[in-house]
Structure 1
Amino acid sequence: MPALSTGSGNYSGLHELLCALPSQLQPHVHSQDDSTFLHNMFGERSLHSLVKIHERLQHYEEHSPAPILDSAGSLAADLSEELQGKSASEEISELLNLLAKPHVKSLLSVHDTVAQKSYDPELPPLPDDIDDDEVSVKIIRLVKNKEPLGATIKRDEHTGAILIARIMRGGAADRSGLIHVGDVLREVNGVPVDDKKPDEIIHILSQSQGAITFKLIPAIKEETPSKEPKMFVKTLFDYDPAEDKAIPCKEAGLAFKRGDILQIMSQDDANWWQAKQDGHANPRAGLIPSKQFQERRFALRRPAASVLQPQKISNRRSYDTAVEFAPLEAEEIEEDDGWFYGSGFYLSGYHVAGFRRSFRLSRRDKKTNKSMYECKKSEQYDMADVATYEEVTPHRRQSGAKHRLVVLVGPTGVGLNELKRKLLISDPQHFSVTVPHTSRPKRNQENEGVEYHFISKNIFETDIHNNKFIEHGEYKGNYYGTSLDSVRSVLSKNKVCLLDVQPHTIKHLRTAEFKPYVVFVKPPPVERLRESRRNAKVIPGKDDKGSAKSFSEEDFLEMVSTAQQMESQHGHLFEKIIVNDDLTAAFTELKVALKKVETDTHWVPISWTHS
Structure 2
Amino acid sequence: MKATVDYHPLQDASIPCPDAGMAFNRGDLLEVVDQSDALWWQARKLPCGTSVAGLIPSANMLRSKQKDQWWCQPSHVHSCIRPYNLADNEEDLTHTDGKRILTDMENNKDINFDEADSDVVEGIYLAGFRRSFRLWRRMSFKRRRQSCTSCSPSSNAVSTPYEEVALYQRLPQESHRLIILIGASGVGVNELRKRLIKLNPSTFQAPVPHTTRQIKEGEQAGREYHFVTKELFEYMVCNHRFVEYGESKGQLYGTSIDAIDEVLKRGRMCIIDVEPPSIHLLRLRNLKPYVIFIKAPSPESLRQTRRNSRIITSYAINRAFTEEDFLELEETSHLIEAKYKQYFDSVVVNDDLQDACMQLCSVIQQAQNEPQWIPVSWLHAED
What CA deviation, in whole Å up to 9, does each residue of 1:265-285 have, x standing for no partner? 222222211112234255953
The equivalent of 1:454 in structure 2 is 227
Contact 1:407 1:501 in 2 (8 A): yes
My pick for the range that moved more, 328-337 or 447-456, is 328-337
Quote how far apart the aligned CAs of 1:354 are. 5.7
Contact 1:274 1:287 in 2 (8 A): yes
Contact 1:358 1:500 in 2 (8 A): no
Contact 1:272 1:289 in 2 (8 A): yes
Candidates 172, 188, 210, aligned match of 1:415 = 188
2-side partners of 1:285 and 1:538: how far apart?
48
Candidates 140, 143, 158, aligned match of 1:372 = 143
Amino acid of the structure 2 residue aligned with 1:275: A
What CA deviation, in whole Å up to 9, does each residue of 1:156-205 have, x standing for no partner? xxxxxxxxxxxxxxxxxxxxxxxxxxxxxxxxxxxxxxxxxxxxxxxxxx
Contact 1:318 1:562 in 2 (8 A): no
Quote how far apart the aligned CAs of 1:512 are. 0.5
What CA deviation, in whole Å up to 9, does each residue of 1:486-516 have, x standing for no partner? 0000000111000110000000100111111
Quote how far apart the aligned CAs of 1:456 are. 0.7
Q: Structure 1 residue 566 and structure 2 residue 336: aligned?
A: yes
Amino acid of the structure 2 residue aligned with 1:372: R
Quote how far apart the aligned CAs of 1:460 are. 0.9
The equivalent of 1:426 in structure 2 is 199
Q: Structure 1 residue 317 and structure 2 residue 91: aligned?
A: no
Normalised to the residue count of structure 1, the TM-score between the two structures is 0.51
Quote how far apart the aligned CAs of 1:317 are. 2.1
Identify unmatched segments of 5+ residues in structure 1.
1-232, 320-327, 342-352, 363-368
Quote how far apart the aligned CAs of 1:414 are. 0.8
Quote how far apart the aligned CAs of 1:399 are. 1.1
Aligned in 2, Cα 1:333/1:496: closer, same or farther, shift over 3 Å? farther
Q: Structure 1 residue 582 and structure 2 residue 344: aligned?
A: no
2-side partners of 1:498 and 1:359: how far apart?
19
Amino acid of the structure 2 residue aligned with 1:317: L
Amino acid of the structure 2 residue aligned with 1:360: R
Aligned in 2, Cα 1:318/1:302: closer, same or farther, shift over 3 Å? farther
Quote how far apart the aligned CAs of 1:548 are. 5.0
Aligned in 2, Cα 1:313/1:519: closer, same or farther, shift over 3 Å? closer
Amino acid of the structure 2 residue aligned with 1:383: S
Query: What SS class does the counterpart of residue 138 from structure 2 fall into?
Result: coil
Max Rg structure: 1
Amino acid of the structure 2 residue aligned with 1:384: N
Aligned in 2, Cα 1:567/1:371: closer, same or farther, shift over 3 Å? closer
The equivalent of 1:205 in structure 2 is none
What CA deviation, in whole Å up to 9, does each residue of 1:329-386 have, x standing for no partner? 4589886956999xxxxxxxxxxx7675595234xxxxxx8972178x99xx953242
Query: What SS class does the counterpart of residue 361 from structure 1 fall into?
Result: helix
Amino acid of the structure 2 residue aligned with 1:427: N
Candidates 136, 153, 162, aligned match of 1:389 = 162
Please tell me the root mean square deviation across aligned C-alpha atoms, in Å.
Answer: 3.6
Aligned in 2, Cα 1:538/1:469: closer, same or farther, shift over 3 Å? closer
1-side partners of 2:171 and 2:79: how far apart?
45
2-side partners of 1:313 and 1:533: how far apart?
21
What CA deviation, in whole Å up to 9, does each residue of 1:396-424 have, x standing for no partner? 11112100000011111111122112211
What CA deviation, in whole Å up to 9, does each residue of 1:460-507 have, x standing for no partner? 111111111111112233211111100000000111000110000000
Q: Structure 1 residue 469 and structure 2 residue 242: aligned?
A: yes
The equivalent of 1:498 in structure 2 is 271
Identify unmatched segments of 5+ residues in structure 2.
89-102, 118-128
Candidates 284, 287, 310, aligned match of 1:537 = 310
The equivalent of 1:10 in structure 2 is none
1-side partners of 2:319 and 2:288: how far apart?
39
Candidates 357, 360, 365, aligned match of 2:137 = 360
Query: What SS class does the counterpart of residue 197 from structure 2 fall into?
Result: helix
Contact 2:84 2:185 in 1 (8 A): no
Query: What SS class does the counterpart of residue 205 from structure 2 fall into?
Result: strand
Query: What SS class does the counterpart of residue 360 from structure 1 fall into?
Result: helix
Quote how far apart the aligned CAs of 1:314 are. 9.3
Q: Structure 1 residue 246 and structure 2 residue 14: aligned?
A: yes
Quote how far apart the aligned CAs of 1:528 are. 2.0
1-side partners of 2:114 and 2:176: how far apart?
30
Quote how far apart the aligned CAs of 1:549 are. 3.3
Q: Structure 1 residue 488 and structure 2 residue 256: aligned?
A: no
Query: What SS class does the counterpart of residue 37 from structure 2 fall into?
Result: coil
Quote how far apart the aligned CAs of 1:235 are. 1.7
Aligned in 2, Cα 1:274/1:538: closer, same or farther, shift over 3 Å? closer
2-side partners of 1:478 and 1:424: how far apart?
27
My pick for the range that moved more, 247-256 or 497-506, is 247-256
1-side partners of 2:84 and 2:49: how far apart?
52
Quote how far apart the aligned CAs of 1:308 are. 7.2
2-side partners of 1:553 and 1:505: how far apart?
29
Query: What SS class does the counterpart of residue 331 from structure 2 fall into?
Result: helix
Aligned in 2, Cα 1:307/1:406: closer, same or farther, shift over 3 Å? closer
Amino acid of the structure 2 residue aligned with 1:492: K
Q: Structure 1 residue 400 and structure 2 residue 170: aligned?
A: no
Contact 2:20 2:54 in 1 (8 A): yes
Contact 1:359 1:471 in 2 (8 A): no
Q: Structure 1 residue 552 and structure 2 residue 325: aligned?
A: no
Alignment of 1:59-458 (within 5 A): 233-280=1-48, 285-303=53-71, 316-317=85-86, 329=104, 356-357=133-134, 359-362=136-139, 372-373=143-144, 383-386=155-158, 388-458=161-231
Contact 2:136 2:248 in 1 (8 A): no
1-side partners of 2:286 and 2:293: how far apart?
21
Query: What SS class does the counterpart of residue 354 from structure 2 fall into?
Result: helix
Normalised to the residue count of structure 2, the TM-score between the two structures is 0.79
Amino acid of the structure 2 residue aligned with 1:551: F
Quote how far apart the aligned CAs of 1:426 are. 1.5
The equivalent of 1:604 in structure 2 is 374
Amino acid of the structure 2 residue aligned with 1:594: I
Aligned in 2, Cα 1:309/1:506: closer, same or farther, shift over 3 Å? closer
Higher relative contact order (CA 8 A, sep 6+): 2
What CA deviation, in whole Å up to 9, does each residue of 1:288-315 have, x standing for no partner? 01122112222222228979799x9799
Aligned in 2, Cα 1:595/1:300: closer, same or farther, shift over 3 Å? same
The equivalent of 1:199 in structure 2 is none
Q: Structure 1 residue 526 and structure 2 residue 303: aligned?
A: no
Contact 1:340 1:357 in 2 (8 A): no
Quote how far apart the aligned CAs of 1:558 are. 1.3
Amino acid of the structure 2 residue aligned with 1:578: V
